Structure 1
Amino acid sequence: MHALNLYGIEDLRYEPLTMPVLEASDDVIIRVQIAGICGSDLSRYRKLGPYVKGMTWGHEFAGIVEAVGKSVTHLAPGDPVAACPTIACGQCLSCQKGIPSQCDNLSVIGARQPGGFATFTKLPAQNVLPLPDSISMEQAALVEPSAVAVHGLYLTSLQPGGSVAVLGCGNIGLLSIAWAKIFGAAAVYAIDIDSKKLELARQMGADYLINPKETPAHEQLLKLTDNQGVDVAIESAGSPVTSAQVFALPRKGGEVVFMGIPYGDVAVERFYFEKIVRNELKVFGSWNAVSAPFPGREWSATLQKMSTGELDVRPMITHKLSLQEGPQAFSDIITQKEFYGKVLLCPNKF
């Protein structure tokens, strides 16, 4: 088998690797069909480097069951599956409270144990979800980022008829737009400086597109909302600048959800900080994509909405490449060789 292994900043290698074997009774070995490149993968590739030198990378993927341990009963070889990459310890206080997203020992495959940018990978059976026939492999590769997006929206009090602003139209932002519409939002405002991302946002369900290059986003939003703002503002750009600007988007008593990771200090100008206090905003941090019973309603809801067609992720997918092309793809994405939406890598032909 082969895998993409990360050795250092911008040092990603396509290499031969020993195939995983069944060890625990609940092990499931998956033949990876499609693996998606996550924004966090790009940040680690460009800025942070690996947790463990030479680790097989990747955590968004779908595939076919290759083999199962003796205690696994809900899966069999040949089953198409989606995969939850999160490993919670099940023992800490947060896990005992039924909040695995806050696990003291939370880990994700591709960090300290082999991930999904490989011909084969291995997960515990509870992390592997059978796919309905109506969900394609390409769609299934986006089940994990969809679960991330809806995990954040579940923190809010968004109701049908409400309004949402999404600041940053990368993959999580686009999926947040789709989920806001599924939740019943009457108006969704997509904000980004990239016109091509805004076009994808429109295809994913955004009602209004805001480009803040010339006029601040909050000024445009206030004009569109009769000077009120929105019920929920989502920060999904992961920028120190937008992490401050997002506070000017909600209405009084509104909510802010942080899904992006800025990887840098966030300096909040007084104008934006006072919005938190004077408007009595509720601020949520959203981490990971799991809840109890594990892996949580984020996953079952995603599979259900994908299977009915209400959640259509296909407009997001702009590239499908072989796994061998992975190192070049990462380089091209960070140098913006062309426009990239969701990029999928294919370790196996199907």
Structure 2
Amino acid sequence: MNATEDAASAMTAIVCRAPKDYRVEQVARPRAGRNELVIRIAACGICASDCKCWSGAKMFWGGPNPWVKAPVIPGHEFFGYVEELGEGAAEHFNVQLGERVIAEQIVPCEKCRYCRSGQYWMCEVHNIFGFQREVADGGMAQYMRFPPTAIVHKIPVGVSLEDAAIIEPLACAIHTVNRGDIQLDDVVVIAGAGPLGLMMVQVAHLKTPKKLVVIDLVDERLALAREYGADVTINPKSDDALGVVRSLTDQYGCDVYIETTGSPSGVTQGLDLIRKLGRFVEFSVFGSDTTTDWSIIGDRKELDVRGAHLGPYCYPIAIDLLARGLVTSKGIVTHGFTLEQWDEAIKVANSLDSIKVLLKPKN
């Protein structure tokens, strides 16, 4: 193989090898097999779960069967252009060369009880792009392969790069808000105004609840939440969250509490703020264990506690909302870096200096 052929068969990628050991490397460029495609990555977001994984959080690295199986190319908030189609892939995915596409973050096995019943996002095997390479690596690279069981969606031409880059987290936000079953007369509290929380604010606003309340420790993020439709914002450093919420609800508490802080205090706060028979939706990925008095859930309030995982059946909705301008990345996407700038990118993403950081490979 000559130098030109060797360069064409390699690509730049971030390789996760261990906590805080992520390296910019030259690796083999993926090739498309039967019913597979390869995309040229346009952008890949750095998620809060990527930051927790990088820092060594127990849920990613601990136990006898850790979620992360290194070495692996991380990244699940990606989209790109169809670069190569394997045999049968055009018909299998209904796509053509050059089209902008995204794959859902989970790669279903299509064999377990959850996949067979349509609940594919809870797949027992649970391969997710960017954490295990059994089926394929993630999107923090120049190119990426979609295996045959990937769930692929097209992205309309009019959707900007920044908007397209938030389709995955927006789908998660939509699923989470839907789990809250928001009604027109509900007082809804969203705890956490990070990227996901700010997207949830926009989606919840479209549900037109009676009052939409957002809690966060960063005033600049609360200002964005108000721009996105929050009626009331609370900074616990200076405001009495319980007093404010009770004043809005005849002292009962909120009807729906959505936890997306990633902090254990967000859970205990929610159990205080929510009314009896309320709906508590838990979305966050935590870096440490959460301890609380479970009698609040049962004996005292009889709460309806609901989890929210991934963005099942919500990618088409996310794409449509972005295409119609009903949800935006403006104000959320704050930084962009090349793959070669990884060390700076993860530092900024893991701080309050940013909201959403994108990696944009040089192709």
What is the TM-score normalised by the length of structure 2?
0.88
Deviation at 1:157, TM superposition (A): 2.1
Encode CA deviations 1:303-340: one digit per residue, 9 max, x unaligned: 11111111112221111121211222112443x3x611
Partner of 2:7: none
Encode CA deviations 1:218-238: one digit per residue, 9 max, x unaligned: 222112333232221100011
Encode CA deviations 1:179-219: one digit per residue, 9 max, x unaligned: 10122223211101111221222232222110111444222
- After the TM superposition, list the runs of 4 or more consecutive aligned residues in structure 1 that deviate by more than 6 angstroms: none
User: Which runs of structure 2 are paired with 1:240-279 in the superposition (5 Å)?
Assistant: 240-269=264-293, 273-274=295-296, 277-279=299-301
Distance 2:99 2:343 in 1: 29
Deviation at 1:155, TM superposition (A): 2.1
Q: How many residues align?
A: 338
Q: Verify: 1:343 aligned to 2:357, yes or no.
A: yes
Deviation at 1:59, TM superposition (A): 0.6
Partner of 2:140: 117
Q: Is the 8 Å Cα contact of residues 67 and 76 (structure 1) preserved in structure 2?
A: no
Q: Verify: 1:101 aligned to 2:111, yes or no.
A: no
Q: Is the 8 Å Cα contact of residues 30 and 121 (structure 1) preserved in structure 2?
A: yes
Partner of 1:80: 100
Distance 1:17 1:161 in 2: 54
Q: Letter of the 2:49 partner, please give it.
A: S
Deviation at 1:161, TM superposition (A): 4.3
What is the TM-score normalised by the length of structure 1?
0.91
The alignment partner of 1:112 has SS state of: coil
The alignment partner of 1:253 has SS state of: strand
Distance 1:277 1:3 in 2: 51
Which residue of the other structure, out of 14, 17, 42, is the alignment partner of 2:51? Answer: 42
Deviation at 1:275, TM superposition (A): 5.7
RMSD: 1.9
101-110 vs 179-188, greater mean Cα deviation: 179-188
Distance 2:116 2:357 in 1: 37
Encode CA deviations 1:29-66: one digit per residue, 9 max, x unaligned: 01001110100000001123772333111110111110
Partner of 1:5: 15
Distance 1:218 1:12 in 2: 42
171-180 vs 218-227, greater mean Cα deviation: 218-227
Partner of 1:57: 74
Encode CA deviations 1:130-169: one digit per residue, 9 max, x unaligned: 1112211211111100111111222232123433111111
Structure 1's unaligned 5+ residue stretches are 291-295
Partner of 2:210: 186
Encode CA deviations 1:266-294: one digit per residue, 9 max, x unaligned: 12147xx526533322110111222xxxx
Partner of 1:231: 255
Q: Is the 8 Å Cα contact of residues 20 and 121 (structure 1) preserved in structure 2?
A: yes
User: Which runs of structure 2 are paired with 1:288-299 in the superposition (5 Å)?
Assistant: 288-290=310-312, 296=313, 298-299=314-315
Q: Verify: 1:130 aligned to 2:129, yes or no.
A: no
Which residue of the other structure, out of 27, 34, 37, is the alignment partner of 1:17? Answer: 27
Q: 1:57 to 1:275 in 2, by over 3 A?
A: closer
Q: Verify: 1:328 aligned to 2:337, yes or no.
A: no
Distance 1:173 1:53 in 2: 29
Structure 2's unaligned 5+ residue stretches are 1-10, 62-67
Distance 2:344 2:188 in 1: 36
Q: Letter of the 2:210 partner, please give it.
A: A
